[in-house]
Amino acid sequence: QQGANPVALSVPQNMIPAKATTSGVMVANLTSTHDVIPAATTFDPDKPETYSFVNNMTTFDSLGNRHEINVFYVKRSESTTAGNSWDVYTLDSSAKPAETAAKRGSMTFDTNGALQSVTNGTNPASTTDFTLTIPMGVVNGAPAQTFALSAAGSKQQNTGTDSIVTQNQTGYAAGEFTGFQINNDGSIMGTYSNSQTQLLGQIVMVNFANPEGLSSEGDNVWKETLSSGNPILGTAGSGGFG
C-alpha cells in the first residue's frame, strides 16, 4: 500500500476470487438495409426470420460460472423524418432451468444513423442513458442477477453487414496464481489463469543525503550513521530515484 511503512514482501500465491459482471459495453453497427420486421411478428430465437442480427456476450455470475448471453436486434420501423427503431431481446442460453427470451428495451436512431435514445425495459426513453438492464439466469447455485449493458456509440449505417465495434464486460471466473512480473516502477503484478492481473506490492528504494557516510557491516550490508543522515524512501522513477 502506497504511503505505508515498508515490510518484507512475500508474494502471495492465493487464488483470485471470481467477480460477477455488473456492467458491459456492446457498441453495434447495424446495417440500415434490413427489412422492417413488424411488431405483430412474434420473436422466436429459433427462427432467424424474426430478428435482424444476433450477437453473443460471455458474462460471469458471483460464483464465476460463465453465462452465454445472446443479444438479438430486431428492426421495427423506419422513417425519413423520425429515424429507425429497433427492439432488443436477450436470452441467457446457459441458465438452468432454461430461460425464455424476452424484450429488454429498444433503440432509436436518427436520420443520420446516430443513436438517439434507448428505452430500458418499461422506463421512458432516454437520450442520455443508453444502457439496458440484462438478466442472467440461475447456474450451478448462483442466484439470478442483472448487469447494465451500454449501447452508447452504436450506429445504424448502410455498411452491408452488421458488426460489433466494441464489446467488453467487467466479470471473470476465479483464477489460479501463475506467476508475477516486476514493472519498471518496482510494482509487482501477480498474473492468474483467468487472464487477470493484481498488484501485490511495490519494491521500495532507499537513499541517503550522504551515502559515503554509511557504515559497512560486511556482506554488502550498510548501516545508517549520523554522517549519512536518515534514510529517504521512494520508488523507482520518482523523487530522483532511478
Confidence class for position 147, pLDDT limits 50, 70, 90? very high
Confidence class for position 2, pLDDT limits 50, 70, 90? low
**0.85 exceeded by the pTM?**
no
d(CA 238, CA 187): 13
Residue 113 CB coordination number (10 Å) = 19
Task: Check whether 83 has a pLDDT greater than 90.
Answer: no
Helix (DSSP H) and strand (DSSP E) numbers for the chain = 0, 17
Provide CB contacts within 8 A for 202, sequence distance 6+. Answer: 2, 185, 186, 187, 188, 235
Query: Which CATH superfamily groups domain 23-169?
Result: Flagellar hook protein FlgE (2.60.98.20)
Higher pLDDT, 181 or 7: 181
**Residue keyed to cell 549520523:** 226
Strand segments, DSSP code E, in the chain are 23-31, 53-60, 66-77, 84-92, 102-109, 115-120, 131-136, 145-150, 155-157, 163-169, 177-182, 187-192, 197-202, 205-207, 215-218, 221-223, 232-234
Give the model's pLDDT for residue 80. 87
The β-bridge relationship of strands 23-31 and 155-157 is: parallel
pLDDT tens for 10-60 read: 888 889 999 999 999 999 999 999 999 999 999 999 999 999 999 999 999
Q: Decide if 61 contacts 139 (C-beta within 8 A).
A: yes
Confidence class for position 4, pLDDT limits 50, 70, 90? low
Mean pLDDT, the chain, rounded, equals: 93
Span(s) in the chain for CATH 2.60.98.20: 23-169
